[in-house]
Structure 1
Amino acid sequence: MWLNSYSHFLKATIACTGLLFSSVVLPVVHAQEQNVVVINPTDSPADIVHKAANVVPSERQFNWQRQELTAFLHYGVNTYTGREWGDGKESPAIFNPTDLDADQWIRELKSAGFKCAILTCKHHDGFCLWPSAYTEHSVKHSPWKDGKGDVVREVSDACKKYGMDFGVYLSPWDRNSELYGTEAYNDFFVKQLTELLTLYGKVSEVWFDGACGEGPNGKKQEYDFVRWYELIRKLQPEAVIAVMGPDVRWVGTETGRGREMEWSVVPKDNLDQDAIAKNSQQEVLTAPVGDMMGQDLGSRKKIEKAKSLVWYPAEIDVSIRPGWFYHEAQDSKVKSPKELMDIYFTSVGMNGVLLLNLPPNKEGKLADADVRSLRGFRQLYATTFTDNLLANAKVTCALSEGKSRNVVDHNYDTSVLPKMKDGKAVFQFKLKNPATFNVLSVQEDIRKGQRVEKFSLEVKDAKGNWKRVTEGTTVGHKRLLKFPVETAKEVRLIISEVRAVPAISEIGLYRLRD
C-alpha cells in the first residue's frame, strides 16, 4: 500500500496491499523545510564525505526516529466488504461496528511499546471516518451511533489518554468525489485536510501515498502537494510528512525489512521533477529514480556525484496479517511474536522506524489473534532488552574530546566521541563475570550526523585470543546484529571505517532466547 517518494514511475498495483503505486510526480520542497547540503563542482571526494557526515535531522525527524515503533490502523468500509480497495460506491450504511473500542486499540499498542498510531481517516473509496462538512460519504450517514459517531475523534482522544502520538492518513485518491480530476478537487482536499489538522489536537505524522486513479468522471488528478505541505507546516509544524513527503521516505518493500546498509543521508537529486517525470514513463521496477529502491542509497560511491544531500530516513512497513484491512479468513495467518521480533531486528535494528499495521475487525476491536501476538512480542522484547549485559562492565576507550560518559546506561544523550587511531576506534569492556549473549546493539547520536561505515564485535576466548563474532556497516539511530551464542568476560567493539568521528550513544549486549 506504499509509494516510495522516489519511485513515482510505478504504475502497477501491489495485490496484497491497500494503496496504489502510480506515476505521480513529487514536487521539489523548499530547501528550508529539509536539512540539505549543497555539493559544489569543486568539492573533492573527501569534501563530499565531510559534508555528508554533518547532515543532521530536523527536530521533527529526530523525534520521529526516536519513536522506533509506530502503528497503522486500517479501518473503514473495506472492513465490512472484505475488500482491500473500495470503489467509492459503497453505501455508508455498511459501516456499522457493533462495539467500536478505540480505547482498546490504543491501550494494547501502548502496552506493546508503540509510540504513535496512524488512522486511515479516508481511504481510496472516499468514505470519511469523521463527519466531514465537505462530503456526504462519511460516518454521518452511517447507522453507527445514529450518524453522530466520529472514529477520528475516538482514536485521537484515546491517544491523548494513553500518551500516544496521533497520525492521520488521507488518501489523495477519492473514488467517490465527483470533483476528482478537476482543479476544484485540490480545494476540496485542502478543506478535508484542514479539518483533520485543526479539529483533533496535535498530529504527529501525516501520511500520504501517491495513489492516482480515475475518478467518477474518468479523469485523473494533478495533486497540489506543495500546497498540502505548506498547510501542514502552518497548522501542525511538528508533524512529519510521510511517505509522499519531505521528511520520511518509504524503505522500498512491504516486508518489514530494511537494508543491510541504510543511510539516512541520501542524494537530493532524486527529488528533481524532470528526472522523476522521465522515469515515470518506464515500466514497473525497471528504472527506479536514482535507484532509490536499490540496496545502496548513500554509500561514498552513491554520493560522490550528487548535487546535494538531504537527511531522509526510512520508514519500514509491514502488516501483521497478509492484508491491510481485516479479513476473518486471515485470523490464522497473523504473524507470531517471534516473527514480529525478527521484524524489529530488520526494521528498527536497521536504522529505520517500524510501521506495523493492525486492522480493527468488524466489531470495531483489534482481533484476539492480533492482540495475543502483540502481547507476546512485547514480552519477548522485555525479556531480551531490559538488561544490558554490559551495564556494570569496565569500559576503556580513548576519547577525541569531552569527558568520559557511560555508553551502556540506556541514556541516548550521553554520547561519546572516541579517539580515532589509524582510522579506528576501540571500545573495550571487561565484565566482573562471564556473560552469555547473542545480540549486539549500537547507536549513534544522529543529532551529530550518521558517520559509522563499518564496525565489528570481538570476544576474548579462553586462550586470550580475540575472535570476531559479528560485523556490520551502517549504524545510524540503531543497529542490531544477531549471532551464535557466545560466553565471554572481555569484549570489544571496533569501529574501523567512518566519515568523521562518530558520536556513540549506546553499546549493548543482550541474550535473545528461542
Structure 2
Amino acid sequence: MAGLCSTLATAHAQDIAPYGALPSKSQVEWQDMEYYMFIHLGPNTFTDNEWGHGDEDPKVFNPSQLDARQWARTAKLAGMKAIIITAKHHDGFCLWPSKYSTHTVRESAWKDGKGDILKELSAACKEYGLKFGVYLSPWDRNHPAYGTPEYNQVFSNTLNEVLSSYGPVFEQWFDGANGEGPNGKKPVYDWPLFHSTVYKNQPNAVIFSDVGPGCRWVGNEDGIAGTTSWSTLNVTGFSPGKGAPPQSVLNEGNMNGEKWVPSECDVSIRPGWFYSPSTNDKVKSVQQLLDIYYGSVGRNGNMLLNVPVDRRGLIYSADSTRLMEFRRMREESFKTNLALKAKVTATETRKGNTHVNVRNLIDGKNDTYWATPDNALQGTITLTFPKAVTFNRLVMQEYIPLGQRVKAFSVEVLEKGAFKEVTTATTIGHKRILSFPDVTTTQVRVKILDALACPVISEVQLYKAPGLLAVPVINRNKNGDVSITCSSPDPELHYTLDGREPTFKSPRYTGLIPLPKGGVIRAKSFLEKGKVASTTTTVSYDIAPAKWKVIYTDDQAAGADPERAIDGNPNSFWMTNYQPDASKYPHEIQIDMNESLTLKGFVYTPRHQTVRSGTIYGYEFYVSEDGENWGQPVAHGNFANIANNPVTQTIKFNIPAKGRFIRLVATTPANENEHWASVAELGVITK
C-alpha cells in the first residue's frame, strides 16, 4: 500500500511537466549544501608561492602540529557542510603517499614520511558529520611523464588511487590549468577518461570544472555569480581551461542551456589561496563575507570559501574568529521568517494537483511548491499581515527538480493605499536573496513577470537583517598622508600606529596622518561611545612615492598618464596603447625615486576594478644607480594565478639591491588576447 501511495504521489507531481535540463539527485543535494570549506595546503604554504614549480624539496613540507580534527571542528562550528582539500596542486605534491609519484608526504619531513593527510581529513569529516571532497590538478610540474602521451593514464591512476581509498567523495574538483611540465611540454587532457575514473569509484560525486559536468566555475575568484544566474549551460564544443566558454557566460550560465551545470563560487578568506604570514591581517571582514554570501548563495550558486591552513597545520586564529563572526551575522539575519505571520494568497494557482498549494510558499520546505497552470507564465503572490512588519531581505526559491523557469520578478509593498515597487530581479533558481533598505508594510506582493514555463515556486521568505557597522577604509596619497573613512553614518574612527589593536581610547582620527616613511596603521569604527565596534582594518605601508617621477614608458595610451602608476591611488591606472598582436610585447615603465635606496622587493597592483585589462603575467624587475646601466633583472618570473585573482603582488628579492632607478618590464600578458600592459600602483619594499 505504501508503494502505491508513493506511485500516486509521483503521478500527481508529474502533472507538471519538467522543463529543460534537470538536476540529478546528487546535484539537488549539492545545491542544498550551499556553503562549505576549501583548504589549500602544500609546499606553497612554506615557500610563500601561489603556484609552486614542482622542484621544491619535499622536506620543506612539515606542518608539525597538523590537526585535521581542528579543521573539521572549525568548519562545523562555522555552519559549513563539507571540506574540499587540495590533494595535489600544480606542483604535483601529493598530500597522501601516492605510489604514482615521488613528490609526496612520504618524502617530506612531516611525520618522518609516514603521514597521510587525506586519511586524517576524511576521518575527521566523518566524525564531525561533514562531507569530504578532493581537488586534484591534472597539471603536474614535477612528474616526468607530464606532457607525454602516457601521462593521462598516470593521472587516471592517481585519481583511482584517491577515489578508491578514502570513503565517499561528494565533489571532485578539477582545475583546468594546463602548463608546461619538467620536460617543457603540455599534454592534451583525456577528460572522458578522467570522468569515467571518477564515476567508477564515486558514482554520486559532483564533478567541478569550467564546464562541469556536475557544477561549473563561476568565472571569477571573487565568489560572485551574475545578477542573472542560470543553472543551465551549453557545453558542447567546450572543455575545461582555455577551451571554456567566456567568463561572462560562466558567470551567468545560458538560458535554456543544454545541461544542468550550476555555479560554484570559489573565493579565499585571504588575498591568496595558500597561507602566507604577510596576510594574517588581511582576512576578509564580516561585511565582505556577507556580500560574497549574497552574491553566491543569494544568486543561485554555492559558496566555496577557502581557509588556508598555516605552517603549523592549523587554521589560523584570525580566520576561525572571522568564520564564527560570519556565522553569527548570518544567523541573526535569517533568524525570524516574517512571512510565517502572513496570510498568503496567489493569482493563477494551478488546479487539480494536490501537491500545489499556496500555503507551501511559507512552510519552510523547499521540496513543496506552488505553481501556475501550464499556459500561465505570470502570477502574483501576496503576503498580508495583521499588523505592519519591517523587513530588508527577501528569499525566493524555485522547485529545481522540475527545472529552472523564472526569468523576471518584482517586489512591491503597500504604501499609503497604493503598491510601490521595492526592487526587481531576474532569475531565482535554487535560491535568490534580495537586499534593500528597511520597508514597513502590511502587504507584500511578489509578481512573477516572465518565465520559460509555468513558475513552480517553493518558498517566499522575509527577514529583518541587523545593520552592520562598516569597517574603516584606509588610503594613503602620494605624499604619504593617510586618510581613514567609513561608509556607516557618523562613526568615531580610532587608530594605532604601534601595532596594537585599536580601542575606543586609541587616538581618534580627525585629519590626515603623515606616514611618508611607511608603517602599520590599524583602525576601527565605533558607535555608542565605544559599545559597538567594527572589525579592524590593517594596512602596511612602505616608503611613499612623494619624490618619484616616471622617466620612461613605451606606447603610452592617450590620457593614460604614467604618473598614475605612482600616485598612491589604486583606483587610477597607467596603461599602454592597445596593440593588435603579441609582437608589441614587452612593455615597460622606468621610475626615478630621486634617492638611492636598498630594496628588498617590489609591489605590483594590477588594475582590479570592474574592467580588468592589461594585467601583467610575466615580469622582469631591474634596479639601477644611474638609470642607464640596468644589468640583469633582480627578479623575474610570473605573477601566478593573477588573471583569475588580480590582487596586489608582493615579490621579494633573493638578494637586496641598491639603486635610485627602478624598471618594470611586462614580458607576457595575463590574458593572451590583451597585448597591452597596465599598472594601478608600483611600489618598493625597503623594510
Q: TM-score, normalised by structure 2?
A: 0.62
Question: In the alignment, does 2:367 pair up with 1:413?
Answer: yes
Which of 332, 335, 340 pairs up with 1:383?
332
Match of 1:400 in 2: 350
d(CA) in 2 for partners of 1:189, 1:55: 31
In structure 2, give the amino acid aligned to 1:410.
G
8 Å CA contact retained: 1:270, 1:289? no
Q: CA RMSD in A?
A: 2.1
Once the two structures are TM-superposed, the CA of residue 68 in structure 1 deviates from its matched residue by: 0.6
Pair 1:345–1:310, CA change in 2 (3 A): same
In structure 2, give the amino acid aligned to 1:396.
T
Once the two structures are TM-superposed, the CA of residue 180 in structure 1 deviates from its matched residue by: 1.0
8 Å CA contact retained: 1:105, 1:365? yes
Q: How does 1:13-412 map to 2 (within 5 A)?
A: 53-244=19-210, 245-271=212-238, 289=245, 293=249, 297-299=253-255, 309-398=258-347, 399-401=349-351, 402-403=353-354, 404=357, 405-412=359-366
d(CA) in 1 for partners of 2:465, 2:341: 19
Match of 1:39 in 2: none
SS in 1 for 2:150: helix
SS in 2 for 1:238: coil
8 Å CA contact retained: 2:217, 2:250? no
Pair 1:390–1:421, CA change in 2 (3 A): farther
In structure 2, give the amino acid aligned to 1:506.
E
Percent identity at matched positions? 46
CA distances 1:390-443 after superposition (whole Å, capped 9, x unpaired): 112111124213342421222111111135897421111112332111111100
CA distances 1:120-166 after superposition (whole Å, capped 9, x unpaired): 00111111110111222111122211211111111111111111111
8 Å CA contact retained: 2:219, 2:247? no
Match of 2:550 in 1: none
In structure 2, give the amino acid aligned to 1:262.
S
Q: TM-score, normalised by structure 1?
A: 0.83
Match of 1:484 in 2: 437
d(CA) in 1 for partners of 2:127, 2:386: 44
CA distances 1:370-407 after superposition (whole Å, capped 9, x unpaired): 11110011000001112211112111124213342421
Once the two structures are TM-superposed, the CA of residue 216 in structure 1 deviates from its matched residue by: 1.3
- My pick for the range that moved more, 333-342 or 406-415, is 406-415
Which of 472, 475, 489 pairs up with 2:428?
475
d(CA) in 2 for partners of 1:200, 1:295: 33
Which protein has greater RCO, CA pairs closer than 8 Å, 6+ apart? Answer: 1
d(CA) in 2 for partners of 1:215, 1:420: 55
d(CA) in 2 for partners of 1:220, 1:315: 27
CA distances 1:45-78 after superposition (whole Å, capped 9, x unpaired): xxxxx99933211122211111111221000110
The structure with more strand, counted as a fraction of residues: 2
Question: In the alignment, does 2:385 pair up with 1:431?
Answer: yes
Match of 2:451 in 1: 498
> Where does the alignment leave 5 or more consecutive residues of structure 2 unmatched?
1-15, 468-687
In structure 2, give the amino acid aligned to 1:91.
D
Once the two structures are TM-superposed, the CA of residue 343 in structure 1 deviates from its matched residue by: 0.6
Match of 2:461 in 1: 508
Pair 1:197–1:452, CA change in 2 (3 A): same
Pair 1:270–1:467, CA change in 2 (3 A): farther
Question: In the alignment, does 2:412 pair up with 1:458?
Answer: yes
CA distances 1:245-283 after superposition (whole Å, capped 9, x unpaired): 412111111111110111112334453x7xx99x86xxx
d(CA) in 2 for partners of 1:506, 1:293: 27
d(CA) in 2 for partners of 1:330, 1:193: 32
In structure 2, give the amino acid aligned to 1:249.
R
CA distances 1:447-469 after superposition (whole Å, capped 9, x unpaired): 011011111111112x2211111
- My pick for the range that moved more, 442-451 or 428-437, is 428-437
d(CA) in 2 for partners of 1:501, 1:347: 25
**How many equivalent pairs are there?**
446
CA distances 1:92-114 after superposition (whole Å, capped 9, x unpaired): 21111121111111111122221
SS in 2 for 1:391: helix
d(CA) in 1 for partners of 2:181, 2:106: 23
d(CA) in 1 for partners of 2:399, 2:456: 5
> Where does the alignment leave 5 or more consecutive residues of structure 1 unmatched?
1-49, 281-287
Once the two structures are TM-superposed, the CA of residue 79 in structure 1 deviates from its matched residue by: 0.3
SS in 2 for 1:258: coil
8 Å CA contact retained: 1:457, 1:469? yes
The structure with more helix, counted as a fraction of residues: 1
